[in-house]
Amino acid sequence: MKQADLSDIATRHGFAVTAFSDHPDFFSSWSLSIKRHDQTFMIEHDGRNNWLSFYKENGVGKFLEIDKAMSHPMTNHEMLKHCESWLSGLTHPPLQLIDLSPHTQ
């Protein structure tokens, strides 16, 4: 995976890249750590087990898995799109409906 492509997606969604590791000799595995404000996230590709995983830090050095996808059918381009969809979901949270109907007391 190209670090520049992952960094571009992260910065477009307001994140700073804090670490990137690439292990092409180990089943094309890689990980990306990103931060925005006081929140830290990690995206990891485990090429050996074919998982693309998304984590949120929930304590110093502790991460909670948010989502996971099978990566074996994905091309690098599709993995980038999947990562972007995760980050765009954080950039644009789901809308919350507000009840504006008149209430009777």
Annotate the chain with DSSP letters as a single string.
Answer: --HHHHHHHHHHTT-EEEEEEEETTTTTEEEEEEEETTEEEEEEEETTTTEEEEEEE-STT-EEEEEEEE-TT--HHHHHHHHHHHHHHHHSPPP-----S----
pLDDT computed for residue 60 by the predictor = 80
Domain that holds residue 55: 3-87
CA 82, CA 70: separation in Å to the nearest integer?
11
CA–centroid distance for 3 within its chain = 14
pLDDT reading at 76 higher than 70: yes
Could you tell me if residue 74 is inside a domain? yes
Could you tell me if residue 96 is inside a domain? no
pLDDT computed for residue 72 by the predictor = 75
Could you tell me if residue 28 is inside a domain? yes
Could you tell me if residue 62 is inside a domain? yes
Could you tell me if residue 14 is inside a domain? yes
Structural domains counted in the chain: 1
Q: What is the pLDDT of residues 6-62, one digit of tens each?
A: 999 999 989 999 999 887 666 678 899 999 988 899 999 887 788 889 999 988 878
